[in-house]
Structures are given as structure tokens and as C-alpha cells.
Amino acid sequence: MFIEFFANNWTIPAVEEITVRFRVCLPIIISAVVLLYVRSSGAQSDSLLPASREQSPQLVSGDFSNLRHKAENGNALSQYMLGNAYLNGDGVPQDFKEAERWYATAAAQGWADAQFKLGYLYEHGIGVSQDYAAAARQYRAAAEQGHKIAENNLGSLYHYGRGVPKDMSQVIRWYRAAAGHGEATAQCNLATLYFEGREIPRNYGEAAMWFRAAAKQGLAVAQNNLAFMYYNGAGVARDYEEAAKWSRRAAEQGYATAQTDLGYLYEQGKGVPLDYPTAYMWYSLGAKGGDPHAAGRMKSLSELMPPKQLANAKDRALYGLQELGRWNKPGDVAVFEGKAGFLSPFLRHSGPSVRSDEW
């Protein structure tokens, strides 16, 4: 068994003779992963609000002049909402510089959401020159108020030494703080560190615990990684049915890696009935989603099926592609900058420090 961290393949203690593709929730070496939820309508002023915070009232375009009046008179919430309006182009032309100006005004008054967003703008050079040190200062200001996404992102900056010295004690401090506050990405990041055992002592039990916490919140990467743990009996008792359950949950979110992995379980009859056509269907979905291993599995499996069964499998695969849209809500689209992680061939895991920038 080997774990594939994007370009890096290396061996961990094998629990079973099986090729495993394990991706972590953290990105490798250079870029932290950004997970940004974008609503298809784009009309709401709070469409990019941090998931960790109570959302501000929705901006109605007719109220814009009143909002600006309050902002100019020092109301921090109004300043923050005005920043959102300029960021999203809600009622005004999109203007990142104006968004930065109003976020900075609210941040100076200690508004945690504004500090977080200002940190994000500095980290990525949106409306301002890229400045990791400034990003770290703003993330810290928000994190010290318990803003869970800022806690996660500050941990990521410490992990990569961006704007702050690389310091694993600070990485663990802030990931654990965010994880304890329920931030799923931080839970997955923390699990990854315990699974890898490169920068902190390996602890599969801790890894499984934090993957489970993130998986229960619906994070597909964590769900598939938890499936990996159950498949191999790492940190939990080996349980193929649990592996199939968690892999299916990730697969039904459209996660291509999990779709291939679930196909493998059907091909082997582990945790699910042995079913070549269903395996072929999931491989087909994985291939359509861009998983590099899926096409090879489809080809190998097709050689094992008689013509009639193969025709049935192809029909099922076509049906599966049609049904995939029902599993993924068209309203919210997850956009990844960089790479996010996952475990396995069966399963994969994610890489060092994912960005949880859920505005």
C-alpha cells in the first residue's frame, strides 16, 4: 500500500496488500487549497460570508444608500456589509479596492468577519498587493476572537512559513482551535498531520477521530479518507461495510476519487454485494470526473464480463451519468484553487494545509 500525495509517492506501514491512493486535506509545498463557495445567482450580498459566522442581513439594493450612510457614520456591521457588496458586485459595480477599504474600516473596529476577509485579500493579492505578513496579522486578529476559518488559515500560514516563521506548535494550536470550533477543513487538516506522522508523531486513532468529525459534516475528502481507515483497519477496526458507507457518501457528492473507490468495492464484493455492472458504473463516473485510475479499472473489468453483462454495465453507466446531476445541487459549486486532498485505489487522502476560505 502506498499513499499518493499528488506528486509524491511513499510507503507507510501496510495493513493490506493493496494499492492505496490517499490524499490529504492539506495542499503540498507551495499552495494552500482554497475552498470557496459561490452561489450561482451571485445576487446575495452575503453569498461569500464565512460559514462559521452568523450571516448578516441580506442587502436589498434599495437600502444601499442607507447602508452607506451608516457605514460612513462608523457602524461596523454596515461597513462590513458594504465591503461584501463591493466584493460581490451586489447593487454596485464589483470593486475589490473598495471592498478592501470597507473591510479595513470594519476590521479596525474589531469586526472579526472583516478581519478574516481582509486577511484573505492580503493573502491572495485581491485589491491589494499580496502581503502574507499582513494576512497573518488580520487572520490572527480574527482567530483570537474565535473565528474558526481564520484559525484554520492562520494555521496554514504557520505550516508553510508564509508571513510568519514555520512553527508546527502554532500549526497544531490553530488547527486544533479551529477543529474544536467545528471547522471541517481544520479537522481534516489535523487528521492529515496525524496520519502522515512526518511533522508530528503519527497517531492513526487521532487521524480517524478527526476525519470522522469532518466526514459527519459532509466533507467529501474526509468521508473518503475515513473509508480508507475502515478499509485498512487503521485507527479503527477493519470494517468493509463502514468503508463502503463513507465512500458512497463522498461518491454521491460527485467526488471522483470516491466514485472509483466505491467501484472497486463493488468489483471486490467488500462491504457491498459483488456487482460488476455497478462497479463499472462507478468507475465510469470516476473517469468522467477526472480520476486518473478509473479508466484503467473500467478496461480491466470490461474484460471480465461477458458481452450481455458488459452491455448492461454500459447502460447502467449512462444512467449513472444522468443521475449524477441529482446528487449535486446546482446552487452551490465548490471551487478549488490549488489541490484538495483524499486517501486510497481504493482510497485517497488530502495534502498539508487546506484553505477553508468559505466566504
Q: What pLDDT shows up at residue 63?
A: 80
Amino acid type, 271: G
User: What are the tens digits of pLDDT across the range 161-170?
Assistant: 999 999 999 9
Is 284 a member of any domain? yes
User: What are the tens digits of pLDDT across the range 310-326?
Assistant: 999 998 888 887 776 65
- Distance (Å, rounded) from C-alpha 61 to C-alpha 81? 12
- Distance (Å, rounded) from C-alpha 349 to C-alpha 26? 9
Please, are residues 123 and 153 in contact by the beta-carbon 8 Å criterion?
A: yes
Cα dist from 250 to 253, 256, 262, 274, whole Å: 5, 9, 9, 20
Please, are residues 276 and 301 in contact by the beta-carbon 8 Å criterion?
A: yes
Strands 2-5 and 24-25: unpaired
CA 207 to chain centre: 16
Is residue 260 predicted with pLDDT exceeding 70? yes
Which DSSP string do the residues of 22-79 spell out, in sequence order? Answer: B-EEB--TT--EEEEEEESS---TTTT--TTSPPPPPPPGGGHHHHHHHHHTT-HHHH
Residue with cell 460527485: 254
Residue span of the structural domain in which 317 resides: 255-327
Amino acid type, 287: A
Is 151 a member of any domain? no
Residue with cell 498531520: 193
- Distance (Å, rounded) from C-alpha 24 to C-alpha 277? 30
Q: Is the dihedral of CA 120, 156, 185, 6 positive or negative?
A: positive
CA 51 to chain centre: 13
Mean of pLDDT values over 267-295:
95
Whole-prediction pTM: 0.77
User: What are the tens digits of pLDDT across the range 82-134?
Assistant: 999 999 999 899 999 999 999 999 999 999 999 999 999 999 999 999 999 99
User: What are the tens digits of pLDDT across the range 333-355?
Assistant: 222 222 233 333 333 333 434 44
Least trusted range by pLDDT, from 139-153, 198-212, 332-346? 332-346
C-alpha cell at 40: 450561482
Is 346 a member of any domain? no
Q: In what order do the strands lie in the sheet with 347-351?
A: 24-25, 347-351, 342-344
Is 153 a member of any domain? no
For the chain, how many structural domains are there in total? 1
Which DSSP string do the residues of 100-141 spell out, in sequence order? Answer: HHHHHHHHHTT-HHHHHHHHHHHHHTSSS---HHHHHHHHHH
Is 300 a member of any domain? yes
Question: If we measure between CA atoms, which residue out of 198, 165, 180 comes closest to residue 24?
Answer: 198
User: What are the tens digits of pLDDT across the range 220-238?
Assistant: 999 999 999 999 999 999 9
